[in-house]
Structure 1
Amino acid sequence: MEQFESFYITTPIYYVNDKPHIGHAYTSLICDVAARFMKLAGKNVKFTTGTDEHGQKIEKAAKTKGIEPKEFTDEISVTFRKLAELMNFDYDDFIRTTEERHEKAVIALWNRLEERGQIYLDSYSGWYSVRDEAFYQESELIYGRAPTGAEVQWIKEESYFFRLSSWQNKLLELYENQPNFIFPESRKNEVVSFVKSGLTDLSISRTSFNWGIKVPENDKHVIYVWIDALTNYLTSIGFPNIEDEEYKKFWTNSFNVHVIGKDILRFHAVYWPAILLAADLPLPKQIAVHGWWLNEGEKISKSLGNVIDPINLAEEFGVDQLRYFLLREASFGQDGNFSKKNMISRINSELANNIGNLVQRTISFLHKQCFGVVPVVDRNLLKDDESLPNCKAIIDQVMDHLSKYEFNQIILLIINISSKANAYIDKSAPWTLSKTDRERMDLVIYKLLEYIRMIGILLQPIVPKSAKMILDQLQIPKEQRDLKSLCNACVSLGITLPKPTPIFLRFDI
């Protein structure tokens, strides 16, 4: 990841049959935080998201509401944009599969596959789930239902097929030669097992509904989701113009990663690389797979009435607080457990009592003893000071954790710095030094301001609004807020800082 100058990260495009939930927010948050860290590291970054707006479910839902599918998708797509704006997701492109540029990319990919003999016309019969938009083998059904619990129906219709079966060995070679292509390893093992069990050719068109991109030269067929939705990753970077600078920068010569939930692993780790190989196009560098969210230990479902609305949570506790909790509570790749009690506990103990208290007490003391003026100290005294964190080591740790999407470990690193700073206050007792050794007091204050500066820089991708407040209170110039500045810059001497304002509020449990 770190050795590439460009970084391209994507969410899956979200299906617009219902409003956004906590899973959508979490996937986008992972991408947003990774993109922000890579920007701080000086990389060229592109972060995309969007909505998947074609298919039978959309056609049915629109018909139920008595409106056209495009009108229906226009309404729902807006809710995903609103979630992104509310959660402060700094995406570069929002793709809709109903856009003309996307249709152009999908048809171009279809034609590349057809020109290479990878598509043929036949008929399909099998078990199909409208809810999942997926076909299932008889052996996959559990008590007559899909593995997801969705109802299935037997269908038979004419269909175009992609020669997926012919790419089985190439896929297995890919997984072996690029061990991090699917991350974490547990998900890779799952995929390898599936592919080794044998692949059948993939139905890639439908005739039973009309809402979608038509197959070139045969408009009674609609191009199915495997080709349509997955192509969005190419749409955003200028495909089919493979000579475009954007395409070269972010697809050919970048670390490009698709972040997905484990429920769509097969589509991204089997179908998508096979399609790209068949079309003679480069592959993404990685498929990063996160777990699901549980609500108080229970699986989230509409029938249980325990769906978590991220918009309501953000409005109740704050956007940064929700971002922090989701990253802090879940280990990447594993299921996270949402608990409002745990969320409040994290906010109070880690954000308010630890980080917020450090900022408040330090700057308040600065105003009480120095009228808010940063002491003019000899910075040479800080060079080998073991009480301050090792900046280079911190950056190395952050980038290592980032490469494994260990955002909770990055947070623990920051909390540890803040805890050390709070312990340093208690040990140094600057309130006593104010009466006995003011020169020493000045040095203690300055060290604490440096602690806070480092914390503010590192917090930017995680809690951007709050981190900005911290860095603004220290009057840190915008050009000195990247990772390089963690080591190469410092709090300016002799400037007057504004009086402290609370950064993180406490909540009652």
Structure 2
Amino acid sequence: MNPYYITTAIPYVNAAPHLGHALESVQADVLARHRRLRGQPVRFLSGTDDHALKNVLAARTTGEPVADFVNSAADRFQALQGILELSYDDYIRTSSDPRHRPGVEYLWQRCAEAGDFYQDTYTGLYCVGCEQFYEPDALIDGVCPEHGTEPERVTETNWFFRLSRYRDHIKDAITAGAVTINPPQKRNEVLALLDKGLQDFSVSRPAARAGGWGIPVPGDPSQVIYVWWDALTNYITALGVDRRSEDYEFWWDGDGERVHVIGKGITRFHAVYWIGLLLSAGEPLPTTIHVHDYVNVGGAKLSKSTGNIIDPVDLVKAYGVDALRWWITREVPLLGDTEFTTARLIQAYNTDLAGGIGNLANRTVALLHKHYDGRLLLDEEPVIGPGWDSADLDTARAALRSKIDAALRTADFRSATAHLIATVNLANQLLNAAAPWKALKDPDGDAHRIHRLLSRVVQACRTIRSELAPFCPGGAARLASQLGDGDRVAAPDPVFVRLA
């Protein structure tokens, strides 16, 4: 099978991680775990974007050296790996990882050799939060549409990248399907942007304004490389692009999938700037860019800059990692912002996990232990009783894998989890129709048929458990211990305890 290389965007570390970071990391983790489950070679990369000016400004407010501040802050982001049960294969910090700077310099040189850099003096409106210049008509009532702050007017002499040269090439890559932007509405937004034409953009900043923090422009130490140009390259500097390493050749330069999971606020950087940079440097393009929308609280976007944040660490401490990962994958739609409340998190967990698959597995296992010593009768023939049969459940169980594959191909986590819960509901409906707890009390009841029925429900639960693993790896592992994989099940014990 072809390799599957998947990345998150790398966040600034000027403030603590919030729920939006957890959303993106969990979504990417589900995709990575799902492909591993299917036997595909997977490499999952995340990291931190250390060279942002906002990191410098945040360090100044604490009085710490920038490097010390960044390292400490980056630790908090990397710690999410264990807290959120993220299966990263690699993690890159752009200020300290020895792979990064040589790769950045290599790609800069490749673009220079293509004649795509020139110096110019520019006056514009700069948002430190976004680390980008804005045209006046892109502002909303004079403030940044992302952060709600008034940009600073800046005049600088910088290096510029000839992005305008690559407009048609970028558009062709998207319309021909070489680069898939998902969902389609985001693709259409990028194409509309390209139809308006592209301007060259500044790819360096004065070293003095950045306090010397950043990677110097090769041959011009008075400038540091613009943080976005620097940060985007992490996807291949982590693979050793400058050395043409085996990792680079296998994961990026071959026939596999190269997938980015990003938030909608940085679509332009990934779907336009990054593709233009790669075209200039003569490197392969990403094959897929999955774009997610935002998490809101009280109708407002979560933002470190505004202080409107929810700490995912606190959520895990209060409700558990299964509940948080399930809310992210069950409640967040493919398109549109999502309002977060703890009540919705608790409801999703209690309804689907504790009251759904957890209750289904536990009551089935309890009956098997009470009446059949925990033993199973495993077969694939339909189980038929008076007024009920296993046909619908058997069909759903057989189709579950392909339905989840189709949903996750477009990163539609809500649809994927809906297929899981639909199968759980069918199993519960079958049990309720057969009422084995009543049939087993009836001296004339068919104990053998009920044994087969309960065993069939366990087989369905095992399939559900396997497909649940990318979404809730911890809970799925506990289910696996209860359900076993042979002709016996373990003693009943609730896997998902209800939340108050």
1:339–1:109 CA distance, 2 compared to 1 (3 A): same
Q: CA offset at residue 124 of structure 1?
A: 2.1
Cα deviation, 1:187-227, whole Å, max 9, x if unaligned, reads 11211222221211111111122100011121111011232
Query: Which residues in structure 2 correspond to 1:376-455 (within 5 Å)?
Result: 376=377, 379=380, 386-390=391-395, 391-434=397-440, 435=443, 436-455=445-464
Q: CA offset at residue 457 of structure 1?
A: 0.5
Find the aligned partners of 1:118 and 1:304 in 2 and give their Cα distance.
Answer: 37
2:12/2:52 contact within 8 Å kept: no
Match of 2:309 in 1: 307
Q: Does 1:250 align with 2:246?
A: no
1:124–1:307 CA distance, 2 compared to 1 (3 A): same
Counterpart secondary structure, 1:229: helix
Q: Does 1:101 align with 2:107?
A: no
Q: CA offset at residue 122 of structure 1?
A: 2.3
| 1:143 paired residue among 125, 132, 141 | 141
Query: Which residues in structure 2 correspond to 1:270-419 (within 5 Å)?
Result: 270-301=272-303, 306-372=308-374, 374-376=375-377, 379=380, 386-390=391-395, 391-419=397-425
Cα deviation, 1:332-391, whole Å, max 9, x if unaligned, reads 23211112222222122221112111111111111111222x134555567996244335
Match of 2:153 in 1: 154
Counterpart secondary structure, 1:100: coil
| 2:237 paired residue among 235, 238, 243 | 235
Q: CA offset at residue 424 of structure 1?
A: 1.2
Match of 1:182 in 2: 181
Q: How many residues are aligned here?
A: 486
Find the aligned partners of 1:11 and 1:54 in 2 and give their Cα distance.
Answer: 17
Q: CA offset at residue 282 of structure 1?
A: 0.6
Match of 2:3 in 1: 6
2:278/2:285 contact within 8 Å kept: yes
Find the aligned partners of 2:173 and 2:379 in 1 and give their Cα distance.
Answer: 56
Counterpart secondary structure, 2:92: strand
Match of 1:507 in 2: 499
Find the aligned partners of 1:426 and 1:192 in 2 and give their Cα distance.
Answer: 52
1:143–1:410 CA distance, 2 compared to 1 (3 A): closer
Counterpart secondary structure, 2:471: coil
Counterpart secondary structure, 1:333: coil
Query: Which residues in structure 2 correspond to 1:163-178 (within 5 Å)?
Result: 163-178=162-177
Q: CA offset at residue 451 of structure 1?
A: 1.4
1:397–1:377 CA distance, 2 compared to 1 (3 A): closer
1:304–1:197 CA distance, 2 compared to 1 (3 A): closer
Find the aligned partners of 2:102 and 2:126 in 1 and give their Cα distance.
Answer: 28
1:132/1:150 contact within 8 Å kept: no
Counterpart secondary structure, 1:272: helix
1:204–1:364 CA distance, 2 compared to 1 (3 A): same
Structure 2 residue runs without a partner (length 5+): none
TM-score normalized with structure 1 length: 0.91
Counterpart secondary structure, 2:448: helix
Find the aligned partners of 1:469 and 1:192 in 2 and give their Cα distance.
Answer: 46
Q: Does 1:472 align with 2:459?
A: no
Larger deviation, residues 145-154 vs 403-412: 145-154
Aligned-partner residue type, residue 66 of structure 1: G
Match of 1:87 in 2: 84
Aligned-partner residue type, residue 447 of structure 1: R
2:401/2:467 contact within 8 Å kept: no
Match of 1:217 in 2: 219
Counterpart secondary structure, 1:275: helix
1:226/1:272 contact within 8 Å kept: no
Match of 1:487 in 2: none
Find the aligned partners of 2:364 and 2:446 in 1 and give their Cα distance.
Answer: 18
| 1:498 paired residue among 481, 490, 495 | 490
1:173–1:116 CA distance, 2 compared to 1 (3 A): same
Q: CA offset at residue 281 of structure 1?
A: 0.7
Cα deviation, 1:295-348, whole Å, max 9, x if unaligned, reads 243433568764221111111111011100111111123211112222222122
Match of 2:117 in 1: 119
Match of 1:197 in 2: 196
| 2:32 paired residue among 16, 35, 57 | 35
Larger deviation, residues 71-80 vs 137-146: 137-146
Aligned-partner residue type, residue 326 of structure 2: Y
Find the aligned partners of 2:125 and 2:13 in 1 and give their Cα distance.
Answer: 23
Aligned-partner residue type, residue 222 of structure 2: K
Structure 1 residue runs without a partner (length 5+): 477-491
Cα deviation, 1:77-127, whole Å, max 9, x if unaligned, reads 011011221000111111100122100110000011111111122222211
Aligned-partner residue type, residue 199 of structure 2: T
Aligned-partner residue type, residue 376 of structure 2: P
Q: CA offset at residue 13 of structure 1?
A: 0.6
Find the aligned partners of 1:344 and 1:439 in 2 and give their Cα distance.
Answer: 39
Counterpart secondary structure, 1:14: coil
Cα deviation, 1:388-440, whole Å, max 9, x if unaligned, reads 43354222211110111111111111111111111111222223443422211
1:433/1:440 contact within 8 Å kept: no
Match of 1:488 in 2: none
Query: Alpha carbon RMSD of aligned pairs, Å?
Result: 2.0
Query: Which residues in structure 2 correspond to 1:67-78 (within 5 Å)?
Result: 67-78=64-75
1:238/1:247 contact within 8 Å kept: yes
Over the matched positions of the two proteins, sequence identity in percent amounts to 38
1:385–1:425 CA distance, 2 compared to 1 (3 A): closer
